[in-house]
Structure 1
Amino acid sequence: MSLIKKDSRPLYMLVKEKIDEKIENGEYKPGDRLPSEAKLSENFGVSRATLREALRVLEKEGKVNRQQGIGTFITEKLALFKSGIEELNSITQTIEAMGLKAGTVDLKLKMNQQVEDLIKEFELNKNDKMVILHRTRTADDKPVAYCEDYLPQSLLPNSLSESDINISLLSFLQEESNIYISYAVADILPVITDEFLAKRLDLNIGDPVLLLKQMHYDDRDNPVLYSKNYFRSDKFEFHVLRNRG
């Protein structure tokens, strides 16, 4: 009998999540060798090809170690960056806090854009323009996150150019526009890497990434920045403090 409850996602991701659950609940412990591929395939009710793809993703995330001719072993996940989701730090601050060099590549700045989906969220008029910023963030010159940022154009200098944004965007807004972002409302979602993200984050198509969508507000509760940040899940780990009410 299959242990996998099917939904619309790829089957290998469902197998991967089931193994994740077994790691989280302690059924599989660091150092344990997993059952053979034949046994796991039978237990999950999937083909060996599907199982191998799930194991490949787990290995990419650093959760398992596959040794040819010996077996697959559970490892401890060692994310490079660990952060509380309640901590509003820029990606630059997060990278530099680990003693690494924060950088930006593939930066593209688009002015005079109309983004209908965000007009209501930003409380804009129909014809108000926006600025869209695309960039890949690096740590010691290796890609770790891809970012898309959306801002009302009225908040930025008229002569803004790509070369102006050489620091964190939060710092730029504070220094150049006197805008202090005090909090953000965030959603974090698991997504699958497509061809576009794979190229920018040095991943394979189908690899998992973490999407952090945030609307940022200034100290007067005005929405000033909407961002979509795609983090490599083998580099970033987010946690949240939950209190019982």
Structure 2
Amino acid sequence: MKLKEGSPRHVQISNWLRKQLENGVYKADEKLPSENQLCEKFDVSRVTVRKALQTLENDGLIYRSQGLGSFVSDDRTRQSLMQLTDFEEDMKRAGLESSSKVIQFKPVSVTEKVASMLNVDPDSTVIRLDRLRLGDNQPIAFDITWLPMFYGQLLEGYNLQEKTIYGILEEDFDIPVKKGFFRIEAGNAATDIAEHLGVKKRAALLIIDRLSLTVGEKPIYYQRRYYRSDRIVYELTAERDSKTKSSPGNMPLREFSPVINK
């Protein structure tokens, strides 16, 4: 296919692909022609094709998977967990307006597990914050967050319906969140969690335990998040290192991202 003179070639290719998508030539999650196929079709370099695909990806029309190719986006947005993000940032990337409903915010006696995670004495008191997390006013997740008293007291007086812990600590107190550890498992909704999320009791949930640390490996909070499994799944992309074929455990993680179903 010969391109016209005038606008840059990558723009013409992206416009052609855009029209194909608008006309329904390619369906949601359907794979687009490969870079080589597009190079041959338009008689252009791979650099030009990649620029065209990047334009469509930036517009949210396609998504690319390392080693697999380019695919048509559906109504779900991919977000990366290779970066440490909070709920507001995740929802923004998904094109949803985030908000929260505070269920409780109060001092509680620490459990053995929470004491271990926060590195506090077993007889300590910590701040517990329970929130229903919403995307476009629809329940997405329910959080139970435990904070050492020092960090918990910094949140007092803030509108936790709208502000995030990361935002308050980093922007107002210059306390950076430097590292996070995650543990993901499947579980079932207890009665109270089910009521908040609007699902049936014992409905399948995706549960994420999260420990966030600041400078000096100091725990800021330990959190247990219950995601509605009909609203979110996780996708994993790993790259095989040819130099370490005998050691699968060394396969570097390229992307680990939640996909939110609107």
For this structure pair, what is the TM-score category when the shorter chain's length is used for normalisation? 0.5 to 0.7
Match of 2:83 in 1: 87
Query: What residue is the counterpart of 2:99 in the other structure?
Result: 103
Q: How does 1:1-245 map to 2 (within 5 A)?
A: 80-157=76-153, 160-161=156-157, 163=159, 166-244=162-240, 245=250
Cα-to-partner distance string for 1:44-79 (whole Å, 9 max, x where unaligned): xxxxxxxxxxxxxxxxxxxxxxxxxxxxxxxxxx67
Quick one: distance in 2 between partners of 1:211 and 1:175?
28
Deviations 1:84-139 (A, max 9, x none): 44332111111122222111124310125333322233222344321110010111
Deviations 1:129-153 (A, max 9, x none): 2111001011111111000111101
Percent of paired sites with the same residue: 16
Provide closer, same or farther for how the CA distance between residues 230 and 80 of structure 1 changes in structure 2, counting only shifts above 3 A: farther
CA pair 79-148 structure 1, distance change in 2 beyond 3 A: farther
Q: Which moved more, 1:180-189 or 1:101-110?
A: 101-110
Residues 196 and 112 of structure 1: CA distance in aligned 2, closer, same or farther (over 3 Å):
closer
Amino acid aligned to 2:207: L
Q: Counterpart of 1:111 in structure 2: which amino acid?
A: P
Q: TM-score, normalised by structure 2?
A: 0.57
Paired with 2:79 and 2:124, the residues of 1 have a C-alpha distance of 35
- In terms of Rg, which structure is larger? 2
Note the alpha carbon deviations across 1:146-199, whole angstroms, 9 max, x for none: 001111012244681463563111112213443211221111001112221221
Structure 1, 163-172 or 220-229: larger mean CA deviation: 163-172
TM-aligned CA distance change 1:112 to 1:207, over 3 Å = closer
8 Å Cα contact 1:130/1:153 also seen in 2: yes
* SS of equivalent to 1:240: strand
Is the CA contact 2:102–2:129 (under 8 Å) kept in the aligned structure 1? no
Distance in 2, Cα, partners of 1:159 & 1:222: 17
- SS across alignment from 2:178: strand
Question: What is the aligned partner in structure 1 of residue 254 from structure 2?
Answer: none
Superposition RMSD in Å: 2.7
Cα distance in 1 between the residues matched to 2:88 and 2:173:
19
Distance 1:165 1:177 in 2: 19
CA distance in 2, matches of 1:221, 1:159: 20
What letter corresponds to residue 229 of structure 1 in structure 2?
R
TM-score (norm 1): 0.61
Segments of structure 1 that go 5 or more residues without pairing to the other structure are 1-29, 31-77
The 1:118–1:103 alpha-carbon spacing in structure 2 relative to 1, beyond 3 Å, is: same
Structure 2: stretches of 5+ with no match in the other structure: 1-28, 30-73, 241-249, 251-262
Distance 1:81 1:238 in 2: 11
Cα distance in 1 for partners of 2:219, 2:115 equals 11
Question: Residue 119 of structure 1: SS of its match in structure 2?
Answer: helix
1:206 deviation in Å? 2.9
SS in 1 for 2:216: coil
**Cα offset for 1:202?**
1.0
Find the aligned partners of 2:138 and 2:192 in 1 and give their Cα distance: 17
Question: Does the C-alpha gap of structure 1 residues 192 and 127 become closer, same or farther in structure 2, counting only changes over 3 Å?
Answer: closer
Q: Which segment is superposed worse, 165-174 or 223-232? A: 165-174
